[in-house]
Amino acid sequence: MFKLIRKLIVVSVASTLTTLSANAAENLTAHTASPGGVPHLTIMHLADVLGEAGIANLQVMEGQTLTNSLITLAEGKVDISAMPIVLTFLLDKGRGPFAKQGENGAAMAADLRALYPYNAGGFGLFALDSENIKSWDDIKGKTVFNGPPRGAALVNARQAITLASGLKEGDDYNGRQANWGQLANILVDGSVDAFVIPLTFPSARVTTAQSAGDITIVSTPKAIFESENYQKIFNAPGNIPLSVKWEDMGYGDGVTMISEDGVFRGLGTAFVELVRKDMSFELAKAITAEHIKTLDQLKAKSPFAPNIGLAQMDPKLAGLCGPSTLKYHEGAVAAWEEAGYKVPDCLK
């Protein structure tokens, strides 16, 4: 039996009968990141609605490093996991944190399927006003928190910094890494000078840091963002362009943004809820259908939820297809199509 070593959240199952079972709901396990972010919100919402519908009793382990969760899922030790798409690509190719998997990585990746898409926001630079960081160049010589030690966020944060400023970790600035569960303390303890991490609109990470003082967010400069060199990054699996007007970002007093035209621009990170392909057609369809049915409820659960790319079927904006071989589960395809959505052929 898979030993649960993290905080376990059990969502009670409804007693009503379902088409899945005449007697009981499915018992499933799930991994997600720490509270406050998009992956946590989507999984916890899923747990709520699956329990209420009598579809599944979903046990959620939060605060996970999703790089590790991908292997756990591929090995069949967990049923569902929030997952940045870039990690499935790296596993398939046996690169980065999965280099030791070698050719076995492709076999593991071939057993994985997506249920539905969303994004975790865009990478932005922010710091306390007292740090006097007004541009990406200003982090030279500073200590910057840029994600967990082995996560996809760290790869993307380093890319975002280099593309925006030319600066490289170790040579030009000091990178600080820690698991997401430690971030809440780091945001306010003064141990770093700035942060380059995924931001939602608005972001609980920014408002948490605001308890230590007023905050400045620095957008990627428009000319750099639209340059050929920067746009190439969106050819990589899971990377998507995000642009949000200041007035739509949802901040009040104490937060300002530096942008030449009042638009936040950044490298976005596309996610999916990931399962194994051997999940039954009926179960995958039921889970996905309940997600679709309750999209309005999900959007109402957080100020940032309407801005996270829910039900995004354009593969370019969902970070799918192209170099990525990840497909939707057949049951998920059926649920989306029955709900009136067109699923691109490259995802079937």
For residue 249, what are the CA distances in angstroms to 19, 203, 216? 41, 9, 13
Task: State the Cα–Cα distance between residues 211 and 185, nearest whole angstrom.
Answer: 11
Is it the case that residue 348 has pLDDT exceeding 60? yes
Domains 8-119+271-347 and 121-268 share a fold: yes
Cα-to-chain-centroid distance, residue 260: 27
How does pLDDT run across 85-141, given as a tens digit for each residue? Answer: 999 999 999 998 899 998 899 999 999 999 999 999 999 999 999 999 999 999 999
- Kindly list the domain boundaries of the chain, sorted by start residue: 8-119+271-347, 121-268
Residue 17: its pLDDT value, please? 33
- Which CATH number applies to 8-119+271-347? 3.40.190.10
- What 3-state DSSP class applies to 152? helix
Helix, strand, coil proportions of the chain in percent (round to 5)? 40, 25, 35
Q: Give the model's confidence band at 16: pLDDT under 50 very low, under 70 low, under 90 confident, else very high.
A: very low
Q: Among candidates 63, 96, 32, 94, which has minimal Cα distance to 272?
A: 32
DSSP label at residue 173: B
Per residue in 181-221, pLDDT (tens digit) is: 899 999 999 999 999 998 999 998 999 999 999 999 999 99
What is the three-state SS of 44-86? HHHHHHHHHHCCEEEEEECCCCHHHHHHHHHCCCCCEEEEEHH
Name the CATH superfamily housing domain 121-268. Answer: Periplasmic binding protein-like II (3.40.190.10)
Q: Confidence band (pLDDT; 50, 70, 90) for 24?
A: low
At a CB cut-off of 8 Å and minimum separation 6, what does 247 contact?
Answer: 262
- Write down the pLDDT at residue 14: 36
**Cis link prior to 202 (omega < 30° from 0)?**
yes
**Angstrom distance (rounded) from CA 83 to CA 67:** 8
